[in-house]
Structure 1
Amino acid sequence: MSVSKTITISLPVSMGKQVEKVAKEEHRTVSELLREAFRQYQSQRNLQKLARKGHIAAKAKKLTPVDFGGP
């Protein structure tokens, strides 16, 4: 059994209503919806970090788009 941490957040009223509407449409709890949203946010953030590291490494090695098959 996993342990949960309860977190309270504040949203603008309109956003809160949208969250509840989407959760209802998807037959999910608000918690499930927000957990999924955070997982997606984390994934996107990790991809952005990786892209920055790749850009820095490519720049340090003086690589150009041609080195990656680009124009």
Structure 2
Amino acid sequence: MATTIKVTAADVSLYHVAAAQLGDATQWWRIAQLNGMTDPDLSDFTTPVQIVLPTVDASLGSGVPGVSA
């Protein structure tokens, strides 16, 4: 069963949510992808919005796939 949480502007960004929920802020894109979002900024959320969290996957490296330094 998928885990869902409610987020608001107080959560600041998907970076913060990913750090708290997945243990890795750079995995914000997984939350965004799963919820049809493209922007990690949550400052426009005036009311709580329910989002689905991906499972924690320790095998994933940090960062966004396909992007290298």
- TM range, smaller chain: under 0.3
Q: Which has the larger radius of gyration?
A: 1
What TM-score do you get using the length of structure 1 for normalisation?
0.20
What TM-score do you get using the length of structure 2 for normalisation?
0.20
Identify, as 1 or 2, the structure richer in helix: 1
Identify, as 1 or 2, the structure richer in strand: 2
Higher relative contact order (CA 8 A, sep 6+): 2
